Structure 1
Amino acid sequence: MLATGLLSATAFAQPPSTGLGQAWPNAPDVSVNPNYHAYVFVLAGVQYIQINDANGNVLGSVGAAGGQFIVLPIGHSQLVTTPQQAATTSAKPAAAPTQVYNDGTTTISATPMSDGTTQLQATPALSADDCDVVTCSTHGS
């Protein structure tokens, strides 16, 4: 009886999210860009973040925990870069990167490429105490 009560309380604490790898998963779209869809799934403290294009095509997905990332083998996973893994492509950027997802700890940007694909880049989000290369080099931090 206690286990059932705990299970029910856990189930109500977070709405169910299913469908990792699907075009239209059963999860809220948390994208910060109207041209993309971002979905987050959480299991055992790891966030699995999936990025789809405007038509629902899965572009890629990463698992993120504690500033570490792993590229998941769904979508065009060969075009996903993380601090731990580089993507290799002969295509060149066709436009500037645009931010697709940011939860305060993880940022994902999308870059349209010259061959019509989209490259995703997952990085830890900068905190107020962090200094990016441009700010540090121009402000002496």
Structure 2
Amino acid sequence: MRIHARSLLASLITLSVALGTGAVQAQTSLSGLGQAWPNATDVSTSPNYHVYVFQRGSTHYVQVNDANGTVRGAFARTAYSLVGLPIGVDATRLATPDEPLPVPASTTGETVYDDGTVKLFVAPQADGTTQMMMVGSECKNPVECTTRGP
């Protein structure tokens, strides 16, 4: 009986460690940035886009793919800044408060990611491109927070 109880306890500990590790890995991944279908959890709040989060050290990388898997763009988030990465077909249309862009032709879009610290707004354009804006969660209007004046 005592051996059975130890075996059961060891199994429960192993299971809880495995589940805990799985939960962390489900939120962030260590590899796959830039891939159409990375082996990472889709954390998008929109059915129109796929959003994947990767982490290396204290830097988080947030990648946006469209519904077909095309990599649209990616951002890096550190404790001190938000920057667009040179990844994806819309890499030149990534705006942050640190890297503002002119106001896009269309500002209609949707928030596709919000982790309580940052949120990511996507505005499809008439020419088939997409402007993406990553801001701190305190920003109420991503367009205003990521555009520069005339």
Please say if residues 78 and 88 of structure 1, whose CA atoms lie closer than 8 Å, have aligned partners that are also in contact.
no
Unaligned runs of 5+ in 1: 1-8, 134-141
Cα displacement (A) at 1:71? 1.1
User: Residue 77 of structure 1 aligns with which residue?
Assistant: 91
Identical residues among aligned pairs (%): 40
Query: CA offsets per residue over residues 41-92 of structure 1, 9 Å max, x none?
Result: 0111111000010000111000012251111110021011011112358x61
User: Residue 45 of structure 1 aligns with which residue?
Assistant: 58
TM-score scaled by length of structure 1: 0.74
Give, in whole Å, the separation in 2 of the partners of 1:97 and 1:83: 18
SS at match of 2:128: coil
Larger helix proportion, structure 1 or 2? 2
Moved over 3 A (4+): none
Q: How many residues align?
A: 117
Query: CA offsets per residue over residues 4-56 of structure 1, 9 Å max, x none?
Result: xxxxx8xx734272210000001000000010000000111111000010000
Give, in whole Å, the separation in 1 of the partners of 2:102 and 2:109: 17
Unaligned runs of 5+ in 2: 1-16, 142-150
TM-score scaled by length of structure 2: 0.70
Name the Cα RMSD after superposition: 2.3
Which has more radius of gyration?
2
